[in-house]
């Protein structure tokens, strides 16, 4: 398998890894963890912070004022030509089409949807996600007992899933701080208070590990 091929993972596998991580870290059942995972994935996609590519892609927009715009993407040798733009995911979320996505087949279609700007329609087939944006690098890592390892790929464990879960809870409560450094410091303080017996990460580690999720939260307030 080439480096290019190994970069990508199916939506079903990506969702399964996210769901297991959420269920373990947040102590919720699988159904609730799956619901939260789906919401998080679409939030990252719509903010442009999680690359996803399609085997075949089409999006059409007909503005109220007339005219129209079409964008088609089909497989070719240049991988960037297959990346689905964040605008498509934003419309998917806005239209509610994300609720009927087929994760197992990798189909994220956009049935005709109208808003004040015009009419949208489209499809994305054989979609794959960039595996490097998952909470773990492998599907087996998220099943480890938290006490055995870090949650950070290739390192001894320092509670990645724990402070990421707390970060999610803070977003839901509206407690997220206005800068990345402040949020990382708050998460470290929480970790030291709640898990005094565990080896703690550094503020720099937390900053680096939550950067993508934090930037997605900042960039897409309308769909948080």
User: Tens digit of pLDDT for each residue in 157-204?
Assistant: 457 878 888 888 888 888 999 899 999 999 998 888 888 777 788 888
Separation of alpha carbons 139 and 119, rounded Å: 39
- Do residues 144 and 190 touch, judged by C-beta distance below 8 A? no
Residue 125 has pLDDT above 80, yes or no: yes
Which pLDDT does position 38 carry in this prediction?
A: 92
| Identity of the highest mean pLDDT range in 27-31, 52-56, 64-68 | 52-56
Ranges of each domain in the chain: 3-131, 144-223
* DSSP, res 114: E
Separation of alpha carbons 72 and 116, rounded Å: 24
Separation of alpha carbons 135 and 204, rounded Å: 17
Mean pLDDT within 129-144: 58
The answer to which of 46-55, 152-161, 181-190 has the lowest mean pLDDT is: 152-161
Identify which of 115, 134, 118 has the alpha carbon closest to the alpha carbon of residue 50: 134
* Separation of first and last alpha carbons in the chain: 36
Identify which of 168, 163, 214 has the alpha carbon closest to the alpha carbon of residue 49: 214
Binned at pLDDT 50, 70 and 90, residue 131 comes out as confident
Which pLDDT does position 134 carry in this prediction?
A: 83
Top-confidence residue, 137 or 98: 98
Separation of alpha carbons 69 and 149, rounded Å: 50
Residue 122 has pLDDT above 60, yes or no: yes
Which pLDDT does position 97 carry in this prediction?
A: 93
Residue 90 has pLDDT above 80, yes or no: yes
Strand pairing report for 56-63 and 52-53: unpaired
Residue 149 has pLDDT above 80, yes or no: no
């Amino acid at each position: 398998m080439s480096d290019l091929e190994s970069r990508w993972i199916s939506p079903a596998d990506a969702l399964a890894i996210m769901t297991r991580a959420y269920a373990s870290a947040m102590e919720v059942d699988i159904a609730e963890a799956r619901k939260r995972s789906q919401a998080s994935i679409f939030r990252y996609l719509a903010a442009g912070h999680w690359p996803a590519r399609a085997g075949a892609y089409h999006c059409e927009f007909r503005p109220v004022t007339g005219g129209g715009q079409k964008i088609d993407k089909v497989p070719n040798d240049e991988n960037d030509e297959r990346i689905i733009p964040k605008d498509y995911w934003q419309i998917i979320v806005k239209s509610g089409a994300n609720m009927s996505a087929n994760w197992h087949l990798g189909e994220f279609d956009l049935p005709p949807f109208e808003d004040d700007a015009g009419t949208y329609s489209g499809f994305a087939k054989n979609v794959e996600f960039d595996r490097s944006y998952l909470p773990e690098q492998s599907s087996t890592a998220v099943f480890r007992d938290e006490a055995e390892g870090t949650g950070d790929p290739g390192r001894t464990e320092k509670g990645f899933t724990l402070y990421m879960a707390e970060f999610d809870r803070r977003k839901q409560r509206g407690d997220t701080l206005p800068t990345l450094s402040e949020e990382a410091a708050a998460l470290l303080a929480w970790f030291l208070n709640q898990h005094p017996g565990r080896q703690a990460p550094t503020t720099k580690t937390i900053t680096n590990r939550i950067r993508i999720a934090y930037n997605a939260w900042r960039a897409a307030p309308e769909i948080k």
